[in-house]
Amino acid sequence: MSDLNIMIVGVGGQGTLMASRLLGNVAMQLGYDVKVSEVHGMSQRGGSVVTYVKMGKKIYSPIIEKGEADIILAFEKLEALRWIDYLKQGGALILNDQQIDPMPVITGKAIYPESIIERFEDGGIRLFKVNGLQIAEECGNTKAVNVVLIGLLAATTSIDRDIWEKAMEQVIPQKVIEVNRKAFDKGYLLS
């Protein structure tokens, strides 16, 4: 496998951490070098959060830069738009179709950008759009959005499905594993 750069973007509190843990676990199982990087602190307070996951033969910088992401896993539409410059030509955008207004929009100082999805489609981006919240709800837990998205992501890579299943077993607490297995399956089948 050539290097795989994945960015996870979203809003503080959306559960991006679990997604990066799963990806880190997958990389370890494959015997790759891996770096997972995010900034803690202010970002936990409802701010924009971004996590970089890089795996491959040898990883140096923990940071993914503009035009370098093979996959962007976006938990929220505006965050997808904000980070879209980081997507590599031909890379895939996995987008949770959810809108969370930032404070400048709430207070009327700014407008939530319109027709974000159309912009991606018109821009020729390989877009995988998913209503993660609805699917997670169908599976029995709205918190499983992250695993729905990971399921879809897994299907876009050439990494063996068994490895993802094993990662889930090792990372996800036993009491919620069944819900998350369902969520993963649904996401996987979406592609």
Q: Which amino acid is at 67?
A: G
For another protein, the binding residues in 56-115 under the rule CB under 8 A are 59-63, 65-68, 78-79, 81-82, 84-89, 101-113
Q: DSSP secondary structure string, 111-123?
A: -PPS-HHHHHHHT
41 binds another protein (CB under 8 A): yes
Instruction: Work out which of 4, 34, 135, 167 binds another protein, going by CB under 8 A.
Output: 34
Using a 10 angstrom Cβ sphere, with 0-12 exposed, 13-18 middle and 19 or more buried, the burial of residue 4 is buried
Q: How far is residue 22's CA from residue 163's CA, in Å, rounded to a whole number?
A: 10
147 and 165 Cβ atoms separated by less than 8 Å: no
166 binds another protein (CB under 8 A): no
DSSP state of 173: -
Cβ 57 to another protein shortest distance, Å: 13
Nearer to another protein, 111 or 158 (CB): 111
Instruction: Work out which of 75, 120, 128, 164 binds another protein, going by CB under 8 A.
Output: 120
Cβ 145 to another protein shortest distance, Å: 11
Q: Total residues at the site for another protein (CB under 8 A)?
A: 58
Q: Which amino acid is at 103?
A: M
Q: How far is residue 91's CA from residue 70's CA, in Å, rounded to a whole number?
A: 5
Q: Which of 121, 127, 67 is nearest to 95 (CA)?
A: 127
Cβ 189 to another protein shortest distance, Å: 26
Cβ 181 to another protein shortest distance, Å: 23
- Of the candidate spans 33-41, 149-157, 158-166, 180-188, the one that interacts with another protein by CB under 8 A turns out to be 33-41
Tabulate helix, strand, coil % of the chain (nearest 5): 45, 25, 30
Contact positions vs another protein (CB under 8 A): 11-12, 24-25, 28, 33-48, 59-63, 65-68, 78-79, 81-82, 84-89, 101-113, 119-120, 123-125
